[in-house]
Amino acid sequence: MLYSKVTPEQKRLKLRELLASGTVQQFPGAFNPLSARLIEEKGFAGVYISGAVLANDLGLPDIGLTTLTEVATRAGQIARMTDLPSLVDADTGFGEPMNVARTIQELENAGLAGCHIEDQFNPKRCGHLDGKNVVDIDTATKRIRAAADARRDPNFLIMARTDIRAVEGIQAAQDRARALVDAGADAIFPEAMRDLHEFQAIRDAVDVPILANMTEFGKSDLFTVDQLQTVGVNMVIYPVTLLRIAMGAAERTLESIKAAGTQEAQVENMLTRARLYELVDYEAYNQFDTGVFNFKVPGIR
């Protein structure tokens, strides 16, 4: 009922354990707080909170227009719905290294288990689009050092994302990954890897956990967990999958209502009222009310 009773500290510890397990951990992207509960119920390891989803949900393109306040608020709303650890996309950290430091503390306050900070220039863009640019090594490492120094919970995961592969190639990505780890990154997100060999190259370059971004319509094939396991990936995200599916269903439903004059044909595809109530734990609220308001005190009429 209400929100998760697992504390942010416990979730961060859990994330560390998951990443140390040696098996690929799946983190689907929640597109709203309730979908985080669905992700947990279906047995996934954790929840990813995508910057693209957050921006698109507001009707904005994913080009760094969302603010720290918007991201921390929404990420906090999602994280508190689940007992699982949540990893949030903090884009380029929302400014200069000092802003990055503040970003980390706000995300800690919002109950996140960790975040990733990338080395793109602003305005940033989806890592799977062409025409990206990255900042120099000095700026990139300063962002990560500021992030690592700012956290108050040593288990809050600072993941460094590098977008350099698409600009300078896989060798540059290996070099940058090493430098980011030296600067204090706990994990590496190598963006827009072309194939499994490239994930292997990053695996060979660093000792920390690495993430695979299995976003649809991007530069990578959609590898299975078994494939990713063979190249030593620790965590896989499906960042925009649920939003794409939900919006696809919404579009088809609207067209069908328009054409048929009723939603009748779509009802079988819907989450039922009963299932929706189950997800929001409606029954527990009924019980809570009974306990609080239906008490009797002897002698009081």
Ligand X SMILES: C[C@](O)(C(=O)O)[C@H](CC(=O)O)C(=O)O
Residues with active-site annotation = 48, 62, 89, 91, 116, 118, 126, 161, 191, 213
* Shortest Å distance, C-beta 61 to Mg ion: 11
Q: Which is nearer to ligand X, 55 or 299 (CB)?
A: 55
Contact 196, 210 (CB under 8 A): no
Residue 119 binds to ligand X (criterion: CB under 6 A): no
Stretch that binds ligand X, among 45-53, 63-71, 78-86, 149-157 (CB under 6 A): 45-53
DSSP 181-245: HHTT-SEEEETT--SHHHHHHHHHH-SS-BEEE--TTSSS----HHHHHHTT--EEEE-SHHHHH
Q: How many residues bind ligand X (CB under 6 A)?
A: 13
Q: Which is nearer to Mg ion, 51 or 93 (CB)?
A: 51
* Shortest Å distance, C-beta 13 to Mg ion: 26
Among 82, 213, 220, 234, contact with ligand X (rule: CB under 6 A): 213
The answer to whether the bond into 190 is cis (omega within 30° of 0) is no
Stretch that binds Mg ion, among 11-19, 52-60, 181-189, 241-249 (CB under 5 A): 52-60
User: Rounded CA gap, 36 and 84, in Å?
Assistant: 9
Place of tokens 């088809």: 252
Q: Give the one entry of Mg ion, ligand X, none that residue 128 binds, where binding means its C-beta sits below a cut-off of 5 to 8 angstroms depending on kind.
A: ligand X
* Shortest Å distance, C-beta 190 to Mg ion: 14
Stretch that binds Mg ion, among 23-31, 45-53, 80-88, 129-137 (CB under 5 A): 45-53
Binding mask 60-79 for ligand X (x = CB under 6 A): --x-----------------
Among 4, 26, 35, 50, contact with ligand X (rule: CB under 6 A): 50
Among 28, 51, 111, 209, contact with ligand X (rule: CB under 6 A): 51
Name every residue whose Cβ is closer than 8 Å to that of residue 47 and which is 6 or more positions away in sequence. Answer: 27, 28, 29, 30, 36, 39, 40, 78, 79, 82, 84, 85, 86, 87
3-state secondary structure of 120: strand
- Segment (H or E) for 89: strand 86-89
First to last CA, the chain: 32
Q: Give the one entry of ligand X, Mg ion, none that residue 151 binds, where binding means its C-beta sits below a cut-off of 5 to 8 angstroms depending on kind.
A: none
Q: Give the one entry of Mg ion, ligand X, none that residue 203 binds, where binding means its C-beta sits below a cut-off of 5 to 8 angstroms depending on kind.
A: none
Per the document, the length of the chain is 301
- The edge-to-edge listing of strands for the beta sheet with 114-118 is 47-49, 86-89, 114-118, 157-162, 187-190
Q: How many residues bind Mg ion (CB under 5 A)?
A: 3
- Strand pairing partners for 157? 114
Residue 117 binds to ligand X (criterion: CB under 6 A): no
* Shortest Å distance, C-beta 54 to ligand X: 8
Stretch that binds Mg ion, among 84-92, 128-136, 173-181, 217-225 (CB under 5 A): 84-92
DSSP 34-74: HHHHHHHHTT-S-EEE-HHHHHHHTT--SSS-S-HHHHHHH
